[in-house]
Amino acid sequence: MANIGLDTHTWELKMRKLDNIDWHYTPAAKTNILETLRKVGFEPPSEDKRFQEKWARYRNAMAINEQKSN
């Protein structure tokens, strides 16, 4: 199981039961992986404020280094 920030118990609660007769099959070509992962609590790192701030600091540091070298 991929680690997406959920413990095993929570993951099992979110999974669909195989014996649920109301479940409708969706072909893989029509699924949106990001939507599916968001339903179980996943937040893409690109949208996480901590990662955005981290990479903004990195980009600023690179820009400063480029200016010093010129």
Residue 1 lies in a domain: no
Q: Looking at residue 53, what is its pLDDT?
A: 92
- The total number of structural domains that make up the chain: 1
d(CA 64, CA 60): 6
- How confident is residue 1, by pLDDT bands cut at 50, 70 and 90? very low
- pLDDT tens for 8-49 read 666 665 566 667 777 777 788 888 888 888 888 888 888 889
- pLDDT tens for 53-67 read 998 998 888 777 777
Residue 3 lies in a domain: no
Q: Who's near 1: CB < 8 A, 6+ residues apart?
A: 8, 11
d(CA 53, CA 67): 21
Q: Looking at residue 12, what is its pLDDT?
A: 63
Q: Looking at residue 41, what is its pLDDT?
A: 87
Write out the two tokens for 60: 């600023």
* Model-wide pTM > 0.85: no
Q: Which domain holds residue 42?
A: 8-69
